[in-house]
Amino acid sequence: MRAHAGEYRIREDNIAFAGFSNGGLTGEALIEYHSGTHRMTDLYPDYEPDELDQVSADLNAFLCIYGPRFVGDSFSYEGVHYPPVFFAVGREDKALDNLNYVYPDLIAHGIPVEVHTFAATPHGKAGAKLLDGKVNYPGFEMWLPLADLFMQDIYRKQ
């Protein structure tokens, strides 16, 4: 994204990753293994870097919808660039336990965090209206404008 920001008509310092459920875990893995001082050769010694490897893989914002790391999982902050993170989770979601675990860890490491919990919402309903055209959890729909405001604020400060 960053290497082609001009083609996409976006600013190269406005790169966000949105992960839903397991995608949130994927986003955090991207941060842990491919940001900051980490390089592909750290994980894959036989990898041959090219010009794309000269472009930063750091995220400017991370939207984690349902999927913070599991209770008890570790995360190495060494050499990492962890961007400001936005969490949205339903109060009927077991991922709320995960969020309660990861939130203090992020705060302890100085990571800006915004958290939104939504009443009467189970796991995995962010895209439900895309499947059936119905808004079954209207409160949870608020995550979209809230995430937009979060990103506008983060990008304004960069």
Distance of alpha carbon 65 from alpha carbon 18, whole angstroms:
7
pLDDT at site 120: 87
19 burial (CB, 10 Å; 0-12 / 13-18 / 19+) is buried
On the 0-12 / 13-18 / 19+ scale of CB atoms within 10 A, 90 is: buried
Domain that holds residue 133: 2-157
For residue 141, the model assigns a pLDDT of: 86
Beta bridge mates, 115: 87
Question: Which range is least confidently modeled, 15-29, 98-112, 117-131, 142-156?
Answer: 117-131
Residue 130 has pLDDT above 70, yes or no: no
- What's the structural domain count of the chain? 1
Q: Is the pLDDT of residue 118 over 80?
A: yes
* Residues of the chain above pLDDT 70, percent: 97
Whichever domain contains 6, its CATH number is: 3.40.50.1820
